[in-house]
Structure 1
Amino acid sequence: MKTLPFLIIVILSAFVISCKSETEKTAPLVYEFTTNLILDDIKKLSSDEFEGRKTSTLGATKARDYIKERFKKLNVTPLLENFEQPFSFIEGTKTYSAVNILGLIKGTEHTDKYVVLSAHYDHLGIIDGKTFNGADDNASGVAALFAFAEYFKSHPPKHNVILASFDAEELGLKGAYHFADNSIIDLNKIVLNLNFDMISRSDNKELYAVGTRYSQPLKETISSFNNVGEVNLVIGHEGLDNLDDWTSSSDHAAFYKKNIPFVYFGVPDHKDYHKSTDVYESIDQQFTIDAIQTLLTVFTQLDAKKL
C-alpha cells in the first residue's frame, strides 16, 4: 500500500471531522407520526363546529364521533362496544350524561399488563355567547393519542396499551374516576398511566413531567432523558419545589389515588388558559410536534422495560 504524505492525511482527516460535525448539526429530527395530520386534528377538534366540547352537549357528541372515527382508521381495537364507556353524574342541580372513549392496542410481550395513555376531550363549551375552543386544553392531548395509535401500527408496544380519552375532566375529573372505579380491566394489571393535558405551547419551551417522585424507575428514565427539538422536559410541580403541586390537577389523579404509577405531561397555565382565546392559531406548532415526539420517546423507553 502506498503511503500518503503526512500533510494530505491531516487535510483529509480535518475534512472528515468537519463533515461529521456538520452532519450532526444539521440532521433533521425524525418524527414517528404524520405531523400535519396531528396538527389538523387539533385544528378540527378546536373548531367552532365542536362548540367547545362541553360534557353532555352536541359538541361533545361530535368530538366523540371524531375520535372514534380516527381510532378506527388507525386500527385501534375498541376496549368496549363502539369504544364507549357511558356514565352519568350530578353536578350542582344538573345531571350530566358523559362518555369515555377507550381503545386497545395489544402488547407483544407483557400481555398481562396494561399502560393507560390518557387525554380528556371535553372543554368548557359556550359561555356568554363565546365559544371556548380548548385547542391547548385539551385538543392537543387527544391529538397525541392519535400519534401514538399511528406509531403503534408499525411499532406494536410490548405492554398492552389502553388509549383513553376521558370525558368530564373539567367537571372534576369525573371520567377518569369513573374509569378507575369501574374499570373492566383489573387495576392490579394497570402498571402505568401517562396523562397528556395541555402540551401545545409554552413561553419558555418547558414541558413538565409530574409524578416521578412516587416511582424511582420513572424518575431515572425521565431525569436522564435527552430533550427533543424545542422541548425542555422538566421534572417539577410535584410538591417538592416552590411551584404549584399538580399531583391531582388532571385525570392522572384517579390513578394516583389507586396507587398506580403515573406521569402527567403538561405546560404551565398561559394567558389563554380557560379563555375563548385558546384557539388553534394560538398554539405553537413546532413545540406541539416536538412535545408529542417527546411523549412517544419517553413511552418507548419505559415500554422497553418490564413495568
Structure 2
Amino acid sequence: MSSRSRFWRFGARHTGQGRRQMRISALALTVFLAACSHTMAGAQSGQVDREIALTDMRVLSSDEMDGRQTGTDGAARARAYIAGRFASIGVQPVGTSYDRPFTYERRGDSHDGINLVGLIEGSGDSDTVMVITAHYDHMGHCGGEICNGADDNASGVAAMLAIAADFAANPPLHDIWFAALDAEEVGLRGATALVADFPVPIDSVALNINLDMLGYQEENELPAAGAFHYPFLRDRIDRAGVVEPAHLIQGYDSPEWGEQGDWTYSSDHGAFHRAGVPFIYYGVDFHQHYHQPTDEYEVMHYDFFVAATQTVVNAARLFDTELDAVQAEREAAASERVTKPGMGQ
C-alpha cells in the first residue's frame, strides 16, 4: 500500500534472525510454471490451490526480487515471473506482450514504469468488463536492508493470480482484465496510467477489485472498502461470503473512519474511483511489518491468506454473474448525481 496514504509507522526492525536467503534459479521457475500449468488444468473450479498461492507469494517476496522497486532489475524479475504465470494460466496479452510501459514525473524527474495487463475473455456478449488489480512494486531497500514486501504486495498479486486461475478453469460471463501494477508506492502512478489508457473504454468497466495486503492479520479481520461510495455493492459483498478464519469488515471508506482510516485513495483503486469506476478494496489494516524489512514470507499468516484469497475469488465470481446489474446501477447513480441541484457542476 502506498506510503503516501498510510501514515502510521512501527518501531519493529529486522534482527536478521531466522531470515532465509532465497535464490530462485531460472530452471526452478521454469519447472514451477510447468507444474502450475499442469495442476491448474485439473483443478476444481472455485477452489484455491493453497500450495500454488503460497508459492506465488513466497517467490515474489524472495531476496532475488530485491524488493521490487520500480525501475530496478528486481522489479524486472518480478515482472518476468508474473508474465510467466499469466501465460501458464491462460491470461491473454494485449497484442504480443503483457507489458504496458508508462512514464511519470516525480520530484522534477521523469521515471519509467511497466504495468502487466491481460484478460480472460467472457462467454457472453456484454461489453461490460471487470478489472482485477494488484501492485507488484515495493520499496526496494529500507535502511540498507531488503524490504521484500511479502504482505505489501506479493500477497495481493498471488491472490490476483488465483482469481485468474479460477476464471481460466471456468470461463466468466464477461471479459475480466487483470493488471499487475507498477509504481503504486510512489503515488498510484501505474494505476493512473492504466486508467488514462485502458484497453477498452473506461466507461465499460463496471467494477475494479483491488487487492493490496492480504497476508498478515493477527485478528483475522479482512476489510472490504468501497460500499460507502457505491452503496449498491454492499449487499453483494456480503453475499459473496467470507471464508474462515477470515471475517469480513465493510468500511474504511468514509470520513467517519478518520483521516488515517479512510482508505478511499490509499491504493490503486483510488485511480479508478477518480474516474467514476466503482471499486472494492480488499486489504488488511496496518501492522508492525508494514514497510519494514520484516515483511517476509516466513511471518505471514498462511491460513488467513488462503482464506482471504478464497474470499476474493468468491467475490469476483459473484460480481461476474451480476456485472450488468452493477453497471446499470452505476450509471443510474451517476445520472442522479448529475441531475441533483448543485451536483455535477
Give the TM-score normalised by the residue count of structure 1. 0.87
Cα offset, 1:124, TM superposition: 0.1
- Residue pairs, 1:172-187, within 5 angstroms: 172-187=187-202
2:122 pairs, out of 78, 101, 107, with: 107
* 1:219 is the counterpart of 2:253: no
Instruction: For 2:126 and 2:118, locate their aligned partners in 1 and report how far apart those are by CA, in whole Å.
Output: 16
Q: Does the 8 Å contact 2:163/2:316 carry over to 1?
A: no
Cα offset, 1:241, TM superposition: 3.3
Residues 168-213 of structure 1, C-alpha deviations (whole Å, 9 max, x = no match) = 0001000000011122210111110000000111121111110111
Report how many residues are paired.
278
* 1:138 is the counterpart of 2:139: no
1:272 pairs, out of 283, 289, 296, with: 289
Q: Could you tell me which residue of structure 2 aligns to residue 252 of structure 1?
A: 269
Instruction: For 2:153 and 2:189, locate their aligned partners in 1 and report how far apart those are by CA, in whole Å.
Output: 15
Q: Could you tell me which residue of structure 2 aligns to residue 16 of structure 1?
A: none
The percent identity for this pair of structures is 37
Instruction: For 1:242 and 1:216, locate their aligned partners in 2 and report how far apart those are by CA, in whole Å.
Output: 17
**Structure 1 runs, 4 residues or longer, greater than 4 Å off:** none
Q: Does the 8 Å contact 1:110/1:160 carry over to 2?
A: no
1:283 pairs, out of 297, 300, 303, with: 300
* 1:292 is the counterpart of 2:309: yes
Cα offset, 1:276, TM superposition: 0.5
Q: Could you tell me which residue of structure 1 aligns to residue 91 of structure 2?
A: 76
Cα offset, 1:216, TM superposition: 2.8
Question: In the alignment, residue 87 of structure 1 is paired with which amino acid?
Answer: F
Q: Could you tell me which residue of structure 2 aligns to residue 15 of structure 1?
A: none
* 1:196 is the counterpart of 2:217: no
Cα 1:36–1:185 shift into 2, 3 Å: same
Instruction: For 1:104 and 1:111, locate their aligned partners in 2 and report how far apart those are by CA, in whole Å.
Output: 15
- Consecutive unaligned residues of structure 1, counting only runs of 5 or more, are 1-29
Q: Could you tell me which residue of structure 1 aligns to residue 321 of structure 2?
A: 304
Cα offset, 1:93, TM superposition: 4.7
Question: In the alignment, residue 116 of structure 2 is paired with which amino acid?
Answer: I
2:250 pairs, out of 231, 235, 239, with: 235
Partner SS state of residue 212, structure 1: coil
Q: Does the 8 Å contact 1:98/1:168 carry over to 2?
A: yes
Give the TM-score normalised by the residue count of structure 2. 0.78
Instruction: For 1:155 and 1:122, locate their aligned partners in 2 and report how far apart those are by CA, in whole Å.
Output: 29
Structure number with the bigger relative contact order (C-alpha 8 A, sep ≥ 6) is 2
Instruction: For 2:224 and 2:303, locate their aligned partners in 1 and report how far apart those are by CA, in whole Å.
Output: 19
Instruction: For 1:148 and 1:226, locate their aligned partners in 2 and report how far apart those are by CA, in whole Å.
Output: 15
Q: Does the 8 Å contact 2:100/2:117 carry over to 1?
A: yes
Q: Does the 8 Å contact 2:225/2:281 carry over to 1?
A: yes
